Structure 1
Amino acid sequence: MREVSLAAWLIVEAPSTLRATERPSGASMAGQDPTLSTDHPFYDVARHGILQVAGADQLGRLIVTFSCCRMPPSHQLNHQRLLEYLKYTLDHYVENDYTIVYFHYGLNSQNKPSLGWLQSAYKEFDRKYKKNLKALYVVHPTSLIKVLWSIFRPLISLRDKNQGELIPPVLRATVTYLKEKGLRTEGLFRKSASAQTIRQVQRLFNQGKPVNFDDYGDIHIPAVILKTFLRELPEPLLTFRAYEQILGITSVESSLRVTRCRQILQELPEPNHAVLRYVADFLHAVSQESIFNKMNSSNLACVFGLNLIWPSQGVASPSALVPLNLFTELLIEYYEKVFSAREAGR
């Protein structure tokens, strides 16, 4: 089976590891398990064959598949029961290494769960289910799935211990390293790094392997990795929807611009808001050391503006750079004020 890459940064395993070598006698990939009894505690859900234990990969790890094409219309399936069935099934296997293969084909407006259900599902799958999950393959992804994967990364993203939010591992690794060793580096984020080395580090993250930036002896490598991660997201962190609103920031009276920034951020999806806050907090810390690194909030905004927001079609026009960079500068310079409103409203 071939793995479908959603975002090269977030792929967990090489595709060659996913080859079913055996299948339990009771598993049927063609539909309902023929051995399924009506006495099964989740017979009403299990009978559809949405979830299957498909055997093991070549490394001996159990493969669990989830097939959207087998989901009946929403009025015929209790999605809360589906969530409970998912947990019930995984509870039998999570103490050992396992792999999940998610087949997105077949999900449509008639059978897809609500966003609220997805949020509930995410909260339910805690560390118990993450610790031994070695690979998550998404087959036949749509553009929406690509965006959600890049930002949300269900089951695999790490949890920020201070904010209780999800931060992609690439961001956490680069930000942590730069905070410890790069805040006073002159020209941070302005200088390039070896393209070959960048690709090498990307492959390590792509394979879920640890990266020790000390091995490379160049503080600009994690800086470039961070910028590249943001730039290569399928949708910008600030979202396409916010683009036109951000362009209007220059028409807002100076004394009201921070308030306007807060209003725009209030409309962001929660995962986007969490990651943006994490990035802005870091960039604010960089700006506080500008006497050494020569990177004040204005300079940082010139670097990160187009890495945080860009139009859905084409590229940003030269005239758009002024409001985009101004908005980014406000996020960095007034970090605490810009992000305080959402916290206060919770």
Structure 2
Amino acid sequence: MSSTDEQGLQAKTDTPSGEELTSELLAEFHEANRDNELFASTEDPEFEFDESGLQLASKEAELDLEAELEDLAREQAGEIAFRSGAITPEGLIEDDFEKELGTPSDAEDNDESEFRDVAQYRILEVAGDDTYGRKVIVASACRLPPSSQINHERLMEYLKYTLDQYVENDYVIVYFHYGLTSKNKPKLGWMLQMYRELDRKYKKNLKALYLVHPTNFIKLLLNIFKPFISAKFGRKIMYVDYLHKLKEHLHFDQLVVPSLVLEHDAKILSAQKPSYPYSSDESEAAVHNPKQQFGVKLQQILQNYKCVIPPVVEICVEFLRKNALDVEGIFRRSANASVLKDVQKRFNQGETVDFDEINDVHIPAVTMKTFLRDLQEPILTFDLYQPVVRLHTLEEDRQLIEVQRLFREELPKENYIILKYIIHFLTQVSQYSDSNKMNTVNLAIVFGPNLLWPKGQANLSTIGHLNSFAAYLIDNYTQLFVR
């Protein structure tokens, strides 16, 4: 992207000038780093940034920051050509900046949350699993209200509260940077404190942090953080310049993307006209492939294979039942991406995959989750989404009767048979929870969003209801599946 184009896009946004940004950030950095209070030592020996020589590192960072900020000021004034990024194994580095605040949407049942004062803005969302079977958490800067309207300490507690529900499993974070302005941007000291408080507990199972529409500002922040970020954590950061690039790693149609971000991406695409990585010929070939199992309708698979249970589900379940019931963390860990893609390709070609040859129990576990999430319509169907979400409003004895009715009257017979097959298997997995650490709650967190999701975008409160419903199915299997 040329310097002229960049200035044209940035002129439409509410951003400070280069000199103002330089002065503001430098002042914040000095304030945040004063007396080195934010980087006091910790007793955890496995903390992910190097705490030795921090005072020296912070002083060096200040000197480096001076030069970086001067370059940034000149760059924004058009004196330096934009430094385009390089392709990484999982993303790209590019540019652009921010705009107005997003309008928070009404989230269901926010009154149930102890953090409803923060949750109402929908800054954080959960969007099922990525293509490698890892939980996806979405953070949107455009939904941050003005700093005067939100308690950032509460925001940090809410962030930890949300992550606590998923950090025991592999997960990824998608951060939409567009919409961060001088009005809603947290202070630099708060950002530094957040990195420190999100210690190894949160970083260990974080597999990727996708920074979407990165700007000079966020790249500058990373330079500031460089003395304190471990190389291991740094490798998890992936820059994504266009939304469609996320399709290489995530189920894009299941992402929670604010309308402001979609509009911003459309403007960039119109200006830059990048090559789109997926051709229509490939999409049409997948639709007309009679052996296709991933990303198609369930009825298409059952009709083409003349079966009751989709082959991929049956093969995965039978292998896991024989080989993985006592494996710790089964369904919680991701697997080798290239092997997963090869397995999916072979299933889509109608081949019978022998998981004994692969010798990794996490491959069939992730393959099974991916198959369920890739269906064009969930096993529990779109029609049952609202009835399931509202189940918690019923008395306990009425819930059982209502679920039985839904299964009997509204869930298609073939869907019921497959769901029964899967839930029965999950009850067997839960019986080995002492060794595999996958009790009903853990299984529900993994499978809830893979059994049912809405046509539109979900939110944190509804994800909780889906997880509770999955746990309810496992705990009450014999009473619910009576036909």
The TM-score range, normalised by the shorter chain, is: 0.5 to 0.7
1:72-103 Cα shifts (integer Å, max 9, x gaps): xxxxxxxxxxxxxxxxxxxxxxxxxxxxxxxx
- Alpha-carbon offset, residue 260 of structure 1: 2.3
Choose which of 299, 303, 307 in structure 1 pairs with 2:450.
Answer: 307
- Alpha-carbon offset, residue 319 of structure 1: 0.8
- Conservation of the 8 A alpha-carbon contact between 1:286 and 1:295: yes
Aligned to 1:147: 297
1:213-252 Cα shifts (integer Å, max 9, x gaps): 1112211100000000000000010000000000111111
- Alpha-carbon offset, residue 184 of structure 1: 0.6
CA distance in structure 2 between the partners assigned to 1:245 and 1:218 by the alignment: 38
- Alpha-carbon offset, residue 298 of structure 1: 1.2
Q: 1:195 to 1:259 in 2, by over 3 A?
A: same
- Conservation of the 8 A alpha-carbon contact between 1:157 and 1:167: no
CA distance in structure 2 between the partners assigned to 1:300 and 1:225 by the alignment: 15
Aligned to 2:391: 249
SS in 2 for 1:211: coil
Aligned to 1:173: 315
Choose which of 367, 370, 373 in structure 2 pairs with 1:231.
Answer: 373
- Read off the aligned partner of 2:397 and give its amino acid letter: S
Choose which of 246, 252, 274 in structure 1 pairs with 2:417.
Answer: 274
- Alpha-carbon offset, residue 256 of structure 1: 3.2
SS in 2 for 1:153: helix
CA distance in structure 2 between the partners assigned to 1:273 and 1:254 by the alignment: 22
Aligned to 1:320: 462
CA distance in structure 2 between the partners assigned to 1:293 and 1:148 by the alignment: 30
- Conservation of the 8 A alpha-carbon contact between 1:227 and 1:307: yes
Aligned to 1:290: 433
1:330 aligns with 2:480: no
- Read off the aligned partner of 2:297 and give its amino acid letter: V
- Conservation of the 8 A alpha-carbon contact between 2:385 and 2:452: yes
- Read off the aligned partner of 2:342 and give its amino acid letter: Q
- Read off the aligned partner of 2:321 and give its amino acid letter: K
- Alpha-carbon offset, residue 168 of structure 1: 0.2
SS in 2 for 1:186: coil
Relative to the length of structure 2, the TM-score reads: 0.38
Query: How many residues in Structure 1 have an aligned counterpart in Structure 2?
Result: 193
How many percent of aligned residue pairs carry the same amino acid?
A: 41
1:263 aligns with 2:377: no
Aligned to 1:28: none
| C-alpha RMSD over aligned residues | 2.2
CA distance in structure 2 between the partners assigned to 1:156 and 1:274 by the alignment: 16
Q: 1:173 to 1:148 in 2, by over 3 A?
A: closer
- Conservation of the 8 A alpha-carbon contact between 1:277 and 1:339: yes
Q: 1:219 to 1:146 in 2, by over 3 A?
A: closer
Q: 1:148 to 1:194 in 2, by over 3 A?
A: closer
CA distance in structure 2 between the partners assigned to 1:211 and 1:148 by the alignment: 20
CA distance in structure 1 between the partners assigned to 2:378 and 2:354 by the alignment: 27
Unpaired runs of at least 5, structure 1: 1-135, 140-144, 159-165
CA distance in structure 2 between the partners assigned to 1:137 and 1:153 by the alignment: 15
Matches within 5 A, 1:1-346: 138=288, 146-150=296-300, 153-158=302-307, 166-266=308-408, 267-314=410-457, 316-340=458-482, 343=483
CA distance in structure 2 between the partners assigned to 1:289 and 1:258 by the alignment: 26
- Read off the aligned partner of 1:300 and give its amino acid letter: L
- Read off the aligned partner of 1:208 and give its amino acid letter: G
CA distance in structure 2 between the partners assigned to 1:157 and 1:223 by the alignment: 24
- Alpha-carbon offset, residue 294 of structure 1: 0.9
- Alpha-carbon offset, residue 157 of structure 1: 3.7
- Conservation of the 8 A alpha-carbon contact between 2:296 and 2:374: no
Q: 1:224 to 1:146 in 2, by over 3 A?
A: closer
- Read off the aligned partner of 2:305 and give its amino acid letter: I
1:173-213 Cα shifts (integer Å, max 9, x gaps): 00000000011111110001001000011111111112111
Report the structure number with the largest CA radius of gyration: 2
Aligned to 1:92: none
CA distance in structure 2 between the partners assigned to 1:226 and 1:259 by the alignment: 30
SS in 1 for 2:417: helix
- Read off the aligned partner of 1:240 and give its amino acid letter: F
- Alpha-carbon offset, residue 254 of structure 1: 2.4
- Alpha-carbon offset, residue 138 of structure 1: 4.1
CA distance in structure 2 between the partners assigned to 1:194 and 1:279 by the alignment: 24
CA distance in structure 2 between the partners assigned to 1:209 and 1:196 by the alignment: 17
Relative to the length of structure 1, the TM-score reads: 0.53
CA distance in structure 1 between the partners assigned to 2:368 and 2:454 by the alignment: 20
Q: 1:324 to 1:204 in 2, by over 3 A?
A: same
Unpaired runs of at least 5, structure 2: 1-285, 290-294
CA distance in structure 1 between the partners assigned to 2:320 and 2:306 by the alignment: 20
- Alpha-carbon offset, residue 257 of structure 1: 2.4
Aligned to 1:59: none
CA distance in structure 1 between the partners assigned to 2:467 and 2:287 by the alignment: 37
- Alpha-carbon offset, residue 147 of structure 1: 2.6
1:139-185 Cα shifts (integer Å, max 9, x gaps): 8xxxxx953545x5214143xxxxxxx00000000000000001111
SS in 2 for 1:304: helix
1:297-334 Cα shifts (integer Å, max 9, x gaps): 111001000000000112x1111022111111111111
CA distance in structure 2 between the partners assigned to 1:205 and 1:236 by the alignment: 19
